[in-house]
């Protein structure tokens, strides 16, 4: 933001990459406001409440209200503090379904978690790889990474309430193959709105923590070292092999491991190692 090209910050962050609505006014939660007054004797603008997509207070689970201070169109150099008089609770009521409200609150909680934690900054390539691993693990892509778009869209639209997706401008059009969901599963040549990443993360994992921390690679044959299956070698059935090459069978898409041992033995095995016996297969 401080650089000469700081004006690009919205594009870089993906905020301009979609038409997700921008709030018009600084917003507040009436219950947070009361709590601030009781605790500090004054209130302040809560950072979280100003973020796109945060429509409910994740703590009090009530609709955020508009203050009388517009976000744009007033003197930029003038500071307007939040006060009781410019933060008056209006009659803003949203007629959303219970499911949509629940998912909006979940989203607000995820955004709060992002703000409160310092997750390592990741490149677009990292996200592409992480999504690909998860899509394979969850059965939405075959081992070579080809995404099963229909299954993905079906399950995504089952997982997320249609009204919820509409509110945050992230509807997925089933017929449209250039929809954002299909695009985000491909190589990231473009940026996506952070909300859409959060939708993906919730869909593919149980939490943001899991997504960022459990970065295990796809390992169909488990971890190195692997057993040598050369009956003539002294280290027969010992875990001594560290050289494994994984390719994928074109016909059945199963992983094919080629194990090369220091004793000269090379063997291949297709399909994942699911049991201890699998580790002794040569086929
Ligand atoms: Zn609140
Ligand atoms: Zn060997």
State the pTM of this model: 0.70
State residue 139's pLDDT score: 83
pLDDT in tens, 74-124: 666 778 888 888 888 876 677 899 999 999 999 999 999 999 888 888 888
Q: Nearest Cα to 105, choosing from 59, 62, 58, 160?
A: 58
User: How many A from CA of 60 to the centre of ligand 1?
Assistant: 4
Band of residue 144 on the pLDDT scale cut at 50, 70, 90 = confident
User: How many A from CA of 140 to the centre of ligand 2?
Assistant: 37
Q: Which residues pair with 65 in a beta bridge?
A: 28
Neighbours of 166 (CB within 10 A): 12
Closest ligand by atom to 29 CA: 1
Residues with CB under 5 A from ligand 1 (ion): 29, 31-32, 57, 59-60
Distance CA 257, CA 269 (A): 5
pLDDT in tens, 1-35: 666 666 566 665 555 544 456 788 899 999 999 99
Q: Which of 43-52, 68-77, 135-144, 248-257 is most confident?
A: 43-52
pLDDT more than 70, % of the chain: 86
User: How many A from CA of 232 to the centre of ligand 2?
Assistant: 9
State residue 10's pLDDT score: 61
pLDDT in tens, 224-252: 899 999 999 999 999 999 988 877 665 66
* Structure token pair of residue 77: 């150099």
Q: What is the mean pLDDT of residues 149-162?
A: 93
pLDDT in tens, 200-214: 999 998 888 888 876
């Amino acid at each position: 933001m401080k650089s000469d090209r700081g004006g690009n910050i919205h594009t870089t962050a993906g905020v301009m990459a979609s038409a997700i609505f921008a709030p018009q006014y600084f917003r507040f939660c009436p219950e947070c406001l009361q709590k601030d007054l009781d605790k500090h004797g004054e209130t302040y603008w809560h950072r979280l409440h100003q973020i796109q997509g945060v429509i409910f207070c994740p703590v009090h689970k009530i609709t955020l209200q508009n203050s009388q201070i517009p976000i744009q169109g007033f003197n930029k150099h003038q500071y307007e503090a939040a006060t009781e008089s410019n933060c008056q609770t209006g009659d803003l009521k949203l007629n959303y379904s219970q499911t949509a409200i629940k998912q909006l609150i979940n989203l607000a909680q995820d955004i709060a978690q992002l703000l409160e934690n310092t997750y390592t900054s990741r490149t677009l390539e990292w996200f592409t790889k992480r999504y690909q691993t998860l899509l394979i693990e969850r059965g939405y892509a075959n081992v070579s990474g080809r995404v099963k778009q229909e299954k993905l869209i079906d399950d995504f639209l089952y997982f997320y309430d249609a009204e919820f997706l509409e509110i945050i401008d992230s509807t997925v059009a089933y017929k449209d193959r250039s929809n954002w969901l299909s695009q985000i599963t491909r190589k990231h040549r473009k940026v996506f709105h952070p909300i859409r990443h959060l939708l993906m993360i919730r869909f593919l994992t149980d939490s943001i923590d899991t997504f960022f921390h459990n970065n295990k690679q796809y390992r169909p044959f488990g971890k190195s070292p692997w057993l040598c299956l050369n009956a003539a070698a002294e280290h027969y059935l010992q875990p001594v092999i560290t050289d494994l090459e994984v390719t994928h069978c074109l016909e059945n898409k199963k992983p094919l491991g080629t194990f090369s041992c220091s004793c000269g033995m090379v063997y291949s095995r297709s399909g994942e190692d699911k049991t201890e016996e699998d580790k002794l297969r040569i086929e």
